[in-house]
Chain A
Amino acid sequence: MNIEVRDLSKIYAPSSVALQDVNFATAADTQVLVFIGPSGGGKSTLLRLLGGLESPTTGEIFHDHTQLDQRTAPLRSFRQKNGFLFQQFNLFPHLTALENILLPLVEVHGQTSANAEKTALAGLDRFGLADHSEKRPGELSGGQQQRVGLARAMAHEPELLILDEPTSALDPEMKAEVLEVIEELCESGQRIIFSTHEMGFAKAAADEVLFLAEGTVLATATPKEIFENPSDPRIATFLERVMKW
């Protein structure tokens, strides 16, 4: 994928500047792009801007050389081509796992119920949830909920899958079960951008790593470069601290 960002800023209030004049361009052969960096650095904000969930205060975003149109209707149709998964609370609690996946397929993508159901069940099966299709989110574990969320985000075969710390709210065992699924998606050739605090996973899965701190991009590099030979001392300090334990 080719993502380019020019002079991108997101300023919520004078006192909360989430992103300040961000510039970067991914390598053309990057399929999995990973954001790392300290909390509050702007990872979620940048993901939301890239996915068209929010509009920047200033600046431009290009996906495969096409500028992202920030007007309401084009932005919504852009969102519909992507898949998203946040840290938690992705699912609708009043709908079953199956219904959660059917809703966008039928109401957004205009599939017939029969087709949508076939797609949704196949997706649930793919992520090991075949026995849980009739359960509501309240009856599923955190890891299962995230996997249903992934099945929903993948059901319409998104061009780009955007995951914002998808395992941060999970305990270690469930982290592993969700990371395995994401690993499989990475291997299947799916274009993915995700933010994570799992450095081992970032190193293994990423084609390219983007380091964000205090609203600016400190580096875009291959995982090898970032983890073995960071260009900025602030990255070295951060990695030292999070890898220590």
Chain B
Amino acid sequence: MNGSSSTSSKFAFVSWIVGFSILGFLYFLFWTLASHDYNWKAIQPYQSNMLKGWGMTLLISAIAAGISILLGAILTAAQLASVKMTRLLARGYIELIRGTPLITQIVIGYYVFSVALEEKILILFSVRVEFAPFWVGIVILSAFSAAYLSEIFRGGIESIGKTQWESGRAIGLSDFQIYRFVVIPQAIRRVLPASAGLFADLVKNSSLLYIIAVHEFFMQTRGAVANSYASIEGYIPLAIGYLIITLPISLISRKLEARFKYEH
């Protein structure tokens, strides 16, 4: 009794210290922002560029999210396939993507693969094409997110217990029907939170596309800041702009999760 109460008072002490530290840090942040001499006028001429960049980020994220769900599902199927070679190839791809920084994938994808593909098309079909950074960026982001997404999907599918497979077989369903009617519907709910987190990551990761000159939100803001000599006046809207996209993602995911709730 004595031991446990002294432990809990120690915990309370530590909690107070943590609480005050966070408070102090927040005070510092607030003080920095509040004491700045704002010059919103300076950034005003670049407002419409920033807004366009924000729209571009939203568009890139939405398209890449769609493609990565599709690719992720295909990779998941490949990982669960009965053919060993298919499984190994999928695994290899996923390890490759997860083991290298996104920024190197963007650079290699744009300056090596995209250029090589343009040359191949020229040789094979005598057509000169030039892939826009916008589309190349979307493809790379999708390929990147799909690898992570398929790991989430696979985890969800494997988390559905053996008894569900037994019951499915017992009522005469085929393996394909068990996936379709039993496993996948249950797995979807379990993967929603992790998938939502991944989509939020995707939105933020799209900012890296500035290195191949995609005119997305981050690049436009950097341009605005450089030209206007303002800084905080550009970076605050930048942060808020990303939050406006990422917050609803977690809200929607929580709504969907509640709708799929049936386990007690």
Q: Of B163, B171, B174, B185, which one neighbours A94 at CB under 8 angstroms?
A: B185
CB-CB under 8 A from B163, the residues of chain A are: 86, 88-90
Check if B262 is an interface residue, CB within 8 A of chain A.
yes
Would you call B167 and A93 a contact (CB within 8 A)?
Answer: no
Would you call A79 and B263 a contact (CB within 8 A)?
Answer: no
Would you call B185 and A76 a contact (CB within 8 A)?
Answer: no
Would you call B263 and A103 a contact (CB within 8 A)?
Answer: no
- CB proximity of B189 to chain A, nearest CB, Å: 8
CB-CB under 8 A from B174, the residues of chain A are: 76
Using known A-B contacts A79-B172, A108-B172, determine if residue A89 contacts B167 with beta carbons closer than 8 Å: yes
Would you call B170 and A79 a contact (CB within 8 A)?
Answer: yes
- CB proximity of A160 to chain B, nearest CB, Å: 12
Check if A138 is an interface residue, CB within 8 A of chain B.
yes
Would you call A93 and B186 a contact (CB within 8 A)?
Answer: yes
CB-CB under 8 A from B164, the residues of chain A are: 89, 92
CB-CB under 8 A from A152, the residues of chain B are: 171
Bound CA–CA A166/B171 (angstroms): 16
Check if B166 is an interface residue, CB within 8 A of chain A.
yes
Would you call A104 and B263 a contact (CB within 8 A)?
Answer: no
CB-CB under 8 A from B159, the residues of chain A are: none
Instruction: Name the CB-closest residue of A to B163.
Output: A89
Check if A5 is an interface residue, CB within 8 A of chain B.
no
Check if B254 is an interface residue, CB within 8 A of chain A.
no
Would you call A103 and B186 a contact (CB within 8 A)?
Answer: no
Would you call A93 and B161 a contact (CB within 8 A)?
Answer: no
Using known A-B contacts A93-B186, A94-B186, A107-B181, determine if residue A86 contacts B263 with beta carbons closer than 8 Å: no
CB-CB under 8 A from A103, the residues of chain B are: 171, 173, 181
Bound CA–CA A80/B262 (angstroms): 28
Using known A-B contacts A89-B161, A93-B262, A138-B263, determine if residue A53 contacts B166 with beta carbons closer than 8 Å: yes
Bound CA–CA A104/B182 (angstroms): 11
- CB proximity of A140 to chain B, nearest CB, Å: 10
Check if A46 is an interface residue, CB within 8 A of chain B.
no
Using known A-B contacts A93-B186, A94-B185, A108-B173, determine if residue A136 contacts B262 with beta carbons closer than 8 Å: yes
Bound CA–CA A84/B164 (angstroms): 13
Bound CA–CA A80/B172 (angstroms): 5
CB-CB under 8 A from A109, the residues of chain B are: 172
- CB proximity of A139 to chain B, nearest CB, Å: 8
Using known A-B contacts A92-B164, A93-B186, A94-B186, determine if residue A107 contacts B263 with beta carbons closer than 8 Å: no
Would you call A138 and B264 a contact (CB within 8 A)?
Answer: yes
Bound CA–CA A84/B260 (angstroms): 28
Q: Of A93, A107, A153, which one neighbours B173 at CB under 8 angstroms?
A: A107
**Contacts of A51-86 to chain B: CB distance below 8 A:** 51, 53, 76-77, 79-80, 84, 86
CB-CB under 8 A from B171, the residues of chain A are: 84, 103-104, 108, 152-153
CB-CB under 8 A from A89, the residues of chain B are: 161, 163-164, 167
**Contacts of A127-171 to chain B: CB distance below 8 A:** 136, 138-139, 152-153
Would you call B177 and A138 a contact (CB within 8 A)?
Answer: no
Q: Of A53, A88, A92, which one neighbours B169 at CB under 8 angstroms?
A: A53
Check if A91 is an interface residue, CB within 8 A of chain B.
yes
CB-CB under 8 A from A139, the residues of chain B are: 264
CB-CB under 8 A from B181, the residues of chain A are: 92, 103, 107
Bound CA–CA A226/B181 (angstroms): 44
Bound CA–CA A216/B260 (angstroms): 46
CB-CB under 8 A from A86, the residues of chain B are: 163, 166-167, 170
Task: Give A residues with C-beta under 8 Å from B.
Answer: 51, 53, 76-77, 79-80, 84, 86, 88-94, 103-104, 107-109, 136, 138-139, 152-153
Q: Which 3 A-B pairs have the closest CB atoms?
A: A80-B172, A84-B170, A89-B163
15 contacts between A and B (CB under 8 A): A79-B169, A80-B172, A88-B163, A89-B161, A89-B163, A90-B163, A93-B186, A93-B263, A94-B189, A104-B173, A107-B173, A107-B181, A108-B172, A108-B173, A138-B264
Task: Give B residues with C-beta under 8 Å from A.
Answer: 161, 163-164, 166-167, 169-174, 177, 181-182, 185-186, 189, 260, 262-264
